[in-house]
């Protein structure tokens, strides 16, 4: 397994899509500082699940998205894809290539994918965990990671080994189990508390149930007393309300008289106002005309005065006369200024010509100087190229000799390592053969125990499923039973007889044989029609003969029991002719039936009811009823409760609460409740059997699991050891083959580099040119350049003087330019002003004539306006006098109307007081009636009829001589005392819970259910604790082996990096391998210190590398990334580290970020990273074996 490609899109400085194709072995990434090499390392860490922004050298995670440059905009997302070669099956996935992708959007969203399929971060971590890669990212050694290894706590160092050994997935399983234990403990504690609380509540609930039964009897007395007192209040309120309505007609007559007076006054006022409205337009018209004429007179007078003033001012104005310089004098001065301007223009042109000649001379001198400088630069560059070529050739000779020495040393090391690998391979092969014999001894090929365990697991699962099904069935049966029982009880309450029927059954009882509805049964669907046809008898009682029925009616009237219906069950023979009518009507049996055919039950009662309904036909609706009546039916009843006879018809409202329908529903509910109870008992027996079978299956499963676990642990231990040995054997064999191939490559490299060294030395001896001629030419060009430079300076001085002379003459010309034109314009302006003054004198004379004519016209118009104003004012005064007379009449009429309205308001106030008193009485009555509904559930009329003061009070606890209950008249004081006494008795009982009996039963059921759940939770907790124990054992075993292998590898690697030094790993708590930390003890050669903080920078780096390399060798991962880890090393230590790199590449792929040339020389592929645009990274790659072949 190795990295194949890495594709970056918008990640940090990789703005464009960039793909790096990695080779097995060592891959080096090189480039200048700041070019983006470490961004490749960050991309690898990020795509494998790194979640810390600081570990990616950023402040937050969005910093990994390309931020833009001066020439390229910022991107909206970053995407990195890593393709891994999985041809060896190291990753637990059925693909030879696995591509892991991660995308981050600037808005904050993040996506992961494996081979293009979306997945979670946890899926990627679990996929990589089996290869030794996890959250610690020990396979990526970034900048500063070496120092972190040394400064880390012992526990942090332990995490590196755990990650390499693949322990983290076991720890995650343990953490999940512990989280479940914590959550389960909270549930367990809560259920234990609930169970204890339920046990504590059961006793008080039993006492509350007993109290509720005693309270029911007392509440009956409270209800009766309250009903009688409230009925008395309602009766009194009715009487007061009747007395307040006697004067209603008298008040109405008074109201009519007052309204007539008001209407007469309002008519008179309306007549006068109409007359005023008719006269008002003429008065308003005259007033408006007078105002307009007055305004015109004032305007004409003002115009007359203004015209006179204007005429006088125009006659008195004097003309302006020009008194300045004459135009001819101004034009003479303009001629002199123009001659001076022409002379200065000629001088400026002469200065321009001089300046152009000097500029041409200066440019010729500068051109000569530049040509000499170019020739001088060519000579200098030729001399520098000769020196650089000689130095480069000498450097190549040195590098080739250094490479020859390194190849010789490497050949000796590889040969030694090959011998060691052969010895390890032979030892591993012997141990593998021995362990394979041990496994054969522990397994007989026929895994009977595992088969029995699987069968037991299936039996346990089947038994558990049967328990769950039985529990669900029981729960459903219990729900059905409770539902049907509740429905039956509700219907039973609604069927309880009321009023006189209840009196006949409970008190009279003489000759009463129960209720009619209890003795009969009606076919389903026809109950409403039968009840409508029975006209109330359906809710009545059954008596045996007519005499007993008459006696019962007399007793009911004497007891004021109310209306009562009886059915006399004396046998009667009757003929039923209704079937003939049905056939004649031509309707089906589903549309109409005879009433007697749907009645079943007690013989006497059923016969009596058939006799009572002998001529009755039942119909589905009124349409069928019409057909039946037309066919000769005597009486027809519909399912909607309508009854039609030859002389009457009643109905119209749908009866939704028929007593017989409720009786049928009650009977059905009782039957359903009995069946549900039987199903519940059967389900309880089934669940008991299922639980017993599940317990037996659980015991058998646990026994077989214990035996199988014991056997598997032994085989697993041998298999784990065998796997390690097989891996060691494979590693040793592969190492032997690689060493042989490496020696062949080294021999080929030695021959090639020896030939190259000889060639370079011959070229160096042949290269020696004499530079004397070039030196002489250089001196001559320098002398010529100095002369040309002096000539250029002199030409520039002359150019400056010519420019100064030109600027002086141009300033004088600008001062004189335009003066002649200005004087010429001034002369023209003076001439124009003199002409304008003559024209103004003519306009003033014309204006004076016009003003005189305006004065005359305005005077005539003003006199005419004054005359009209006088005439209109006289007519307006006459109309005003008539208006005053009408206003006086309107005021008198309005006073009369106001007096009538005051009388009306006074009457309304008096009537309002009467209405308020009546409303108060009505409100009082409504409140009492509402109290009757709210407190007692009875209408006011019903309450007065049944509990009013006129009703006798029956005391069932005392009887007269004949055994009948005693009766006594109503006395309010006695009823108030009775109510107070009953309320005191009820208060003594304290708080009453009327649902105590139902709550007690439900609480007992819940207590049983919680007890079962508590037992299940305790068993689950024990199972989780066993899982945690098994994980700890596995982690202990894996971690012990990993630590020992890493410790041995560290003791072997440290002396290689520090020849003569000593180093070892020490456990901080050897007795607890599950929690112990790991310390590093390092003593370089020649030093006695062991503390890491006292080591130098290079020694610290090598020590950290020794620890990491020990982990790499003990538990190899498919690849490792190292970012400038050798930056602080000198050449000697670098050589030692590179030898280890070469050894690591035998089992793993290396990606190295480096600036060292020697590190590049051992690489199989080079990747050059650079920034050709500002802030954008580009990559160039080259496989070195292709270069060697070329």
- According to DSSP, the residues that pair with 141 across neighbouring strands are 1122
Q: What are phi and psi of 1086, to 5 degrees?
A: 85, 0
Name which of 109, 189, 710, 102 is nearest 453 in CA terms: 710
Query: Please, are residues 101 and 77 in contact by the beta-carbon 8 Å criterion?
Result: no
Query: Please, are residues 1148 and 1112 in contact by the beta-carbon 8 Å criterion?
Result: yes
1021: left (phi > 0), else alpha (psi -120 to 50), else beta? alpha
What's the CATH superfamily of 1-138+1154-1189? P-loop containing nucleotide triphosphate hydrolases (3.40.50.300)
* DSSP secondary structure string for all residues of 942-983: HHHHHHSTTSPEEEEEEE-TTSPEEEE---HHHHHHHHHHHH
Examine the pLDDT at 374 and tell me if it is beyond 70: yes
- CA distance linking residue 1190 with residue 1181, whole number of Å: 16
What length does the chain have?
A: 1190
Q: What are phi and psi of 19, to 5 degrees?
A: -120, 130
User: Per-residue b/e over 647-671, b at no fewer than 16 CB within 10 Å?
Assistant: eeeebeeeeeebbbbbbbbbeebbe
- 958: Cα separation from own chain's centroid: 74
Q: Which residues are annotated as a binding site for ATP?
A: 32-39
More confident call, 244 vs 461 = 461
Averaged pLDDT, 322-344: 71
Share of the chain above pLDDT 90, in %: 2
Examine the pLDDT at 74 and tell me if it is beyond 80: yes
Question: In the chain, which segments carry CATH 3.40.50.300?
Answer: 1-138+1154-1189
Cα dihedral 472, 477, 482, 487, rounded to 10, equals 130
The per-residue pLDDT for range 271-315, each reduced to its tens digit, is 777 777 776 676 677 777 777 777 777 787 777 778 777 777 767
CATH of region 140-210+1012-1116: 3.40.50
Examine the pLDDT at 80 and tell me if it is beyond 90: yes
Share of the chain above pLDDT 70, in %: 80
Tell me the CB-side half-sphere exposure of residue 1167, using CA atoms within 13 A: 25
Question: 397-404 long-range CB contacts below 8 Å, 24 or more apart?
Answer: 397/757, 397/760, 397/761, 397/764, 399/1157, 400/753, 400/756, 400/757, 400/760, 401/757, 403/749, 403/753, 403/1161, 404/750, 404/753, 404/754, 404/757
Name which of 863, 844, 862, 860 is nearest 310 in CA terms: 844
- CA distance linking residue 1140 with residue 26, whole number of Å: 12
With a CB cutoff of 8 Å and minimum separation 6, the contacts of 364 are 795
The per-residue pLDDT for range 215-236, each reduced to its tens digit, is 767 777 777 887 888 888 888 8
The per-residue pLDDT for range 802-828, each reduced to its tens digit, is 777 777 777 777 776 776 777 777 777
- CA distance linking residue 113 with residue 108, whole number of Å: 17
Q: In 459-557, at which residue ranges do the beta strands (DSSP E only) sit?
A: 512-515, 520-522, 541-543
* DSSP secondary structure string for all residues of 607-668: HHHHHHTTTEEEESSHHHHHHHHHTT-SEEEETTS-EEESS-EE--S--S--HHHHHHHHHH
The per-residue pLDDT for range 758-769, each reduced to its tens digit, is 877 777 776 544
pLDDT at site 571: 56
Q: Which of 205-214, 757-766, 783-792, 825-834 is predicted with the least confidence, judged by mean pLDDT?
A: 205-214
Query: Which two tokens mark 968?
Result: 């006594």
Examine the pLDDT at 1112 and tell me if it is beyond 60: yes
Query: Please, are residues 588 and 630 in contact by the beta-carbon 8 Å criterion?
Result: no
Averaged pLDDT, 703-725: 69
- 872: Cα separation from own chain's centroid: 88
Query: Which two tokens mark 690?
Result: 């299922």
pLDDT at site 1074: 76
* Residue 445 pLDDT level (bands cut at 50, 70, 90): very low
Q: Which residues are annotated as a binding site?
A: 32-39
pTM, whole model, 2 decimals? Answer: 0.38
Averaged pLDDT, 505-521: 67
pLDDT at site 100: 92
């Amino acid at each position: 397994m190795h990295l194949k490609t890495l594709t970056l899109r918008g990640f940090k400085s990789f703005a464009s899509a960039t793909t790096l194709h990695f080779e097995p072995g060592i891959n080096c990434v090189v480039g200048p500082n700041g070019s983006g090499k470490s961004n490749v390392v960050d991309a690898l860490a990020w795509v494998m699940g790194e979640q810390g922004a600081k570990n990616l050298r950023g402040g937050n995670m969005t910093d990994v998205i390309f931020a833009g440059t001066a020439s390229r905009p910022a991107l909206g997302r970053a995407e990195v894809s890593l393709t891994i070669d999985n041809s060896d099956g190291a990753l637990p996935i059925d693909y030879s290539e696995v591509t892991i992708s991660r995308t981050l959007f600037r808005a904050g969203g993040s996506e992961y994918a494996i081979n293009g399929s979306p997945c979670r971060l946890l899926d990627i971590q679990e996929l990589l965990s089996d290869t030794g890669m996890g959250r610690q990212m020990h396979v990526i050694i970034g900048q500063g990671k070496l120092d972190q290894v040394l400064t880390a706590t012992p526990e942090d160092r332990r995490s590196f080994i755990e990650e390499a050994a693949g322990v983290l997935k076991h720890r995650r399983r343990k953490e999940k189990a512990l989280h479940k234990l914590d959550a389960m403990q909270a549930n367990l504690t809560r259920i234990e508390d609930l169970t204890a609380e339920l046990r504590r509540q059961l006793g008080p609930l039993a006492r509350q149930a007993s109290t509720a039964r005693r309270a029911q009897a007392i509440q009956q007395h409270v209800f009766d007393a309250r009903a009688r007192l409230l009925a008395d209040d309602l009766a009194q309120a009715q009487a007061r309300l009747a007395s307040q309505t006697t004067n209603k007609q008298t008040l109405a007559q008074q109201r009519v008289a007052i309204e007539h007076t008001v209407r007469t006054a309002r008519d008179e006022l309306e007549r006068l106002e109409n007359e005023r409205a008719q006269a008002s337009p003429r008065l308003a018209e005259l007033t408006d005309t007078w105002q307009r004429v007055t305004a015109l007179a004032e305007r004409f007078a003002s115009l007359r005065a203004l015209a006179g003033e204007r005429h006088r001012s125009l006659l008195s104005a004097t003309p302006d006369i020009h008194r300045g310089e004459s135009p001819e004098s101004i034009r003479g001065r303009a001629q002199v200024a123009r001659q001076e301007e022409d002379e200065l223009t000629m001088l400026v042109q002469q200065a321009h010509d001089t300046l152009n000649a000097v500029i041409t001379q200066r440019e010729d001198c500068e051109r000569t100087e530049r040509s000499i400088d170019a020739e001088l630069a060519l000579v200098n560059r030729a001399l520098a190229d000769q020196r650089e070529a000689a130095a480069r050739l000498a450097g190549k000779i040195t590098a080739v000799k250094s490479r020859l020495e390194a190849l010789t040393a490497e050949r000796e090391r590889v040969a030694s390592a090959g011998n060691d690998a052969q010895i390890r391979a032979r030892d591993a092969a012997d141990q593998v053969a021995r362990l394979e014999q041990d496994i054969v001894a522990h397994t007989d090929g026929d895994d009977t125990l595992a088969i029995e365990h699987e069968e037991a697991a299936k039996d346990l699962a089947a038994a558990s499923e049967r328990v769950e099904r039985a529990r669900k069935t029981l729960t459903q049966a219990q729900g059905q039973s409770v539902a049907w029982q509740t429905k039956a009880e509700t219907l039973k309450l609604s069927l309880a007889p009321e009023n006189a029927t209840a009196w006949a059954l409970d008190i009279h009882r003489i000759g009463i044989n129960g209720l009619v509805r209890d003795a009969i049964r009606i076919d389903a669907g026809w109950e409403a029609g039968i009840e409508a046809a029975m006209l109330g008898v359906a809710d009545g009682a059954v008596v045996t003969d007519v005499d007993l029925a008459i006696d019962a009616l007399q007793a009911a009237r004497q007891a004021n029991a109310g209306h009562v219906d009886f059915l006399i069950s004396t046998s009667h023979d009757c003929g039923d002719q209704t079937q003939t009518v049905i056939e004649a009507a031509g309707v089906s049996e589903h549309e109409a039936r005879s009433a007697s055919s749907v009645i079943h039950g007690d013989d006497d009662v059923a016969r009596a009811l058939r006799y009572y309904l002998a001529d009755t036909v039942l119909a589905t609706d009124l349409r069928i009823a019409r057909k039946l009546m037309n066919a000769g039916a005597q009486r027809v009843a519909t399912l909607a409760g309508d009854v039609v006879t030859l002389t009457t018809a009643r109905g119209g409202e749908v009866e939704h609460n028929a007593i017989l329908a409720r009786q049928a529903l009650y009977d059905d509910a009782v039957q359903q409740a009995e069946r549900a109870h039987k199903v519940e008992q059967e389900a309880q027996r089934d669940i008991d059997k299922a639980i017993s079978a599940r317990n037996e299956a659980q015991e058998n499963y646990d026994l077989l699991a214990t035996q199988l676990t014991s056997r598997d642990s032994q085989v697993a231990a041998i298999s784990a050891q065998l796997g390690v040995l097989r891996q060691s054997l494979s590693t040793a064999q592969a190492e032997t083959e690689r060493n042989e191939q490496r020696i062949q490559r080294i021999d080929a490299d030695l021959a090639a580099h020896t030939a190259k060294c000889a060639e370079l030395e011959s070229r160096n001896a042949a290269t020696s040119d004499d530079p004397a001629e070039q030196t002489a030419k250089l001196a001559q060009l320098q002398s010529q350049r100095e002369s040309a430079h002096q000539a250029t300076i002199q030409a520039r001085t002359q150019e400056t003087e010519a420019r100064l002379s030109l600027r002086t003459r141009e300033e004088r010309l600008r001062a004189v330019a335009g003066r002649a034109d200005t004087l010429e314009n001034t002369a023209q302006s003076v001439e124009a002003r003199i002409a304008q003054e003559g024209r103004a004198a003519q306009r003033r004379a014309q204006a004076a004539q016009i003003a005189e004519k305006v004065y005359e016209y305005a005077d005539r118009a003003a006199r005419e306006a004054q005359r009209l104003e006088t005439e209109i004012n006289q007519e307006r005064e006459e109309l005003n006098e008539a208006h005053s007379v009408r206003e006086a009449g309107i005021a008198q009429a309005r006073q009369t109307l106001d007096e009538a309205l005051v009388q009306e308001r006074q009457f309304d106030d008096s009537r309002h007081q009467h209405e308020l008193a009546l409303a108060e009485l009505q409100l009082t009555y409504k409140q009492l009636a509402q109290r009757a509904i709210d407190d007692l559930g009875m209408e006011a009329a019903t309450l007065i009829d049944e509990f009013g003061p006129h009703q006798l009070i029956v005391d069932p606890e005392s009887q007269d001589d004949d055994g009948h209950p005693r009766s006594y008249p109503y006395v309010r004081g006695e009823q108030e005392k009775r109510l107070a006494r009953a309320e005191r008795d009820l208060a003594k009982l304290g708080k009453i819970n009327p649902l105590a009996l139902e709550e007690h039963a439900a609480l007992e059921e819940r207590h049983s259910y919680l007890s079962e759940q508590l037992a299940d939770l305790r068993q689950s907790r024990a199972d989780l604790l066993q899982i945690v124990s098994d994980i700890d054992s596995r982690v202990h075993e894996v971690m012990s082996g990993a630590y020992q292998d890493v410790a041995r590898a560290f003791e072997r690697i440290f002396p290689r990096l520090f020849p003569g030094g000593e180093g070892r790993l020490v456990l901080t708590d050897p007795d607890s391998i599950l929690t112990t930390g790991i310390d590093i003890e390092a003593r370089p050669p020649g030093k006695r210190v062991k503390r890491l903080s006292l080591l130098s920078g290079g020694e610290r780096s090598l020590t950290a590398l020794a620890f990491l390399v020990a982990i790499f060798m003990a538990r190899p991962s498919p690849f490792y990334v190292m970012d400038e880890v050798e930056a602080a090393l000198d050449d000697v230590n670098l050589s030692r580290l590179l030898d280890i790199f070469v050894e690591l590449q035998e089992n793993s792929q290396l990606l190295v970020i480096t600036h060292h040339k020697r590190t590049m020389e051992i690489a199989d592929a080079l990747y050059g990273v650079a920034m050709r645009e500002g802030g954008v990274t580009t990559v160039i790659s080259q496989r070195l074996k292709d270069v060697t072949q070329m």
